[in-house]
Amino acid sequence: MARDERGVTPQSEDFSAWYNEVVFKAELVDRGPVRGTMVIRPYGYRIWELLQADIDRRIKETGHVNAYFPLLIPESHLQREAEHVEGFAPELAVVTHAGGKELDEPLVIRPTSETVIGEMMAKWISSYRDLPMLLNQWANVVRWELRPRMLLRTTEFLWQEGHTAHADEADATRETMLALGLYADVSREIAAMPVVAGEKTAGERFPGARRTFTVEGMMRDGRALQSGTSHYMGTNFAKAFGIQYTAESGELEYCHTTSWGMSSRMVGGVIMTHGDDKGLVLPPLLAPYQVVIVPIGRGDQAGQVLPPARELAERLHRAGVRTHIDDRPHLSPGFKFNDWEMRGVPIRLELGPRDLAGGSALMSTRLGEGKMPVSLDSAPARLQFELTAFQALLLQRATEYRDSHTRTVGSWEEFVEAVMTGWALAFHCGTQECEDEIKAATSATPRVIPADGPAEEGMCVRCDLPSAYGKRLIFGRAY
């Protein structure tokens, strides 16, 4: 486990190199044997589990139920919704042989599950009494990626996908917004990511959707990360798969459906929102270990320190603090300090014979400078307090970063400058050609029409035609 090179490339020098080094050095992930695939190592998977538990609880509390649908989908199913297949066809992995034979019809590995779930909903829904149908699935999906990037864009990733069917547009829209709000809450409250929620422009919609909503976070290189999306499908999938119900009036009607997803890329978002040149910085609510205790002292001293360290860990554990003792005998305290900084542990406690004699431990927080003594007696309450403060600090720090890297722009020059280092709040005419031109010139795309942006009119920042959205959009380069 010893590493020769402890440091990482500074963010300011090469953010992309920083990210790649950190995800491997913090032992979050590793490369799978097939190009573009990823192994999520125990430390990274635990972050995902903590996130997953929180999302799952919120999904269930809002009346949804989990189910599981097959991985393999007949190729012909995907073709029933024209825009959907057009969007996903280039990314499909196709099974042509199974059980030692060539298959009559090729099967695709699900890139998303609208089609197979649509097929089942058509079978399960017959009356208005069956609505709304509120399903969720935790699953792996495969999308062939030409430029894979650990956690952010891999050939296979893990996610939840909500799929719901409703009697009418109003109810389906309510659901779409409920999922969007859930994602905004998870991002802010758990991941400490101050995302901006709102609608996507037509060009950025999910293939087959009538409306797509998103929560966008700003990473520490100023780029945007789409962190969760929620789609209103209208009756597109209902018509493609025959999802119909008999209304109270006796009429046969098409359902209005939605889908929404949040994935393991959120772990990448956490890294790029909070990390620094020493490595990861984890929000306490997502940290596998919230507190690491490093016993100080070699030989006989180690023997003295370890039992009280264990007792302290046990008391913290009972107070609900995820605590780990780093008792590796062959590593120096300095090595351990660096190691847990790289892994983003919010709080470190050092416990040596002198601290012990004074009835205290030395506390350092991952973003603080210097060390403070903490009384062993009151440690559980004190650490609960410090962890809560650390979680709040991360959200505040990320909000300040986002706000100081977001600029309301009036001219194309200002726009170009703004999207070099962050986001531009700008008017846009709403045409696809103009979006494409902006992208070609700057790599920036319209990330979101902020739901809580003030109503404003103005001229398109690029082509000077009148604004189409009644407010400013956020433009930025994106992952």
Segment near a copy of itself (CB under 8 A), from 65-73, 195-203, 389-397, 448-456? 65-73
What is the token pair recorded at 9?
């490339």
Question: Which residue in 12, 16, 63, 72 binds a copy of itself (CB under 8 A)?
Answer: 72
Of 287-316, which residues contact a copy of itself (CB under 8 A)?
Answer: none
Our CB check for a copy of itself shows the closer of 29 and 184 to be 29
Q: Which stretch binds a copy of itself (CB under 8 A): 44-52, 198-206, 333-341, 400-408?
A: 44-52
Size of the site for a copy of itself (CB under 8 A): 61
Min. distance of Cβ 88 from a copy of itself in angstroms? 11
When asked if residue 77 is in the footprint of a copy of itself (CB under 8 A), the reply is: yes
CB of 390 to a copy of itself, least distance (A): 24
The single residue listed with the structure tokens 């962190």 is: 227
Q: Determine the Cα angle at 302 with ends 300 and 306, to 5°.
A: 130
Q: Which is nearer to a copy of itself, 32 or 453 (CB)?
A: 32
Spell out the residues 6+ positions from residue 250 whose beta carbon is closer than 8 angstroms to its own.
none
Determine how many CB atoms are found less than 10 A away from the CB of residue 138. Answer: 15
- Which of the residues 326 through 345 are near a copy of itself (CB under 8 A)? 328, 330
Q: Whole-angstrom Cα distance, residue 414 to residue 406? A: 11
CB of 60 to a copy of itself, least distance (A): 10
The phi and psi torsions of 446 (rounded to 5 degrees) equal: -70, 115
Q: What is the β-pairing status of strands 291-295 and 347-351?
A: parallel
List strands edge to edge, sheet with 224-234. 65-66, 133-142, 156-166, 256-263, 224-234, 211-218, 196-199, 445-450, 473-476, 423-426, 406-408
The correct pick among 4, 5, 33, 440 for binding a copy of itself (CB under 8 A) is 33
The least CB distance from residue 330 to a copy of itself, in Å, is 7
Binding pattern for the stretch 124-163 against a copy of itself, x by CB under 8 A and - elsewhere: x-xx-xx----x---xx-x-x-x--------xx-x-----
Question: What residues from 87 to 126 belong to the interface with a copy of itself (CB under 8 A)?
Answer: 89-100, 106-107, 109, 116, 119-120, 123-124, 126
Minimum CB separation of residue 58 from a copy of itself in Å reads: 16
Closest to 83 (Cα-Cα) out of 206, 197, 167: 206
User: Scanning residues 155 to 214, which ones bind a copy of itself (CB under 8 A)?
Assistant: 155-156, 158
| Cα separation, 141 vs 123, whole angstroms | 24
- Nearest CB to a copy of itself, comparing residues 299 and 329: 329
The DSSP bridge pattern shows strands 372-375 and 360-365 to be antiparallel
- The residue from 10, 13, 16, 65 that contacts a copy of itself (CB under 8 A) is 65
**Is the Cβ–Cβ distance between 131 and 165 less than 8 Å?**
yes
Beta partners for residue 198, in sequence order: 214, 450
Binders of a copy of itself in range 356-415 (CB under 8 A): none
Q: Which residue's CB is nearer to a copy of itself, number 109 or number 191?
A: 109
**Please, which residue, 10 or 70, has the CB nearer to a copy of itself?**
70
**Of these, 12, 66, 378, 432, which contacts a copy of itself (CB under 8 A)?**
66
Residues 309 and 356: beta-carbon distance below 8 Å: no
Site residues (CB under 8 A) for a copy of itself, limited to 12-31: 30
Polymer length of the chain: 479
Rounded-to-integer distance, Cα 142 and Cα 263, Å: 12
Cα–Cα distance, 269 to 397 (Å, whole number): 15
Under rule CB under 8 A, which residues in 208-267 are in contact with a copy of itself?
none
Query: Which of 8, 22, 38, 255 touches a copy of itself by CB under 8 A?
Result: 38
> Which residue, among 128, 198, 202, 135, has the nearest Cα to 168 in the 3D structure?
128
Nearer to a copy of itself among residue 67 and residue 392 (C-beta) = 67
Q: Are 265 and 183 in contact (CB under 8 A)?
A: no
Least separation in angstroms between residue 22's CB and a copy of itself is 18
Please, are residues 127 and 93 in contact by the beta-carbon 8 Å criterion? no
Angle at 231 between CA 170 and CA 264, to 5 degrees: 140
Footprint of a copy of itself on this chain (CB under 8 A)?
Answer: 1, 30, 32-34, 37-42, 45-46, 48-49, 65-74, 77, 89-100, 106-107, 109, 116, 119-120, 123-124, 126-127, 129-130, 135, 139-140, 142, 144, 146, 155-156, 158, 328, 330
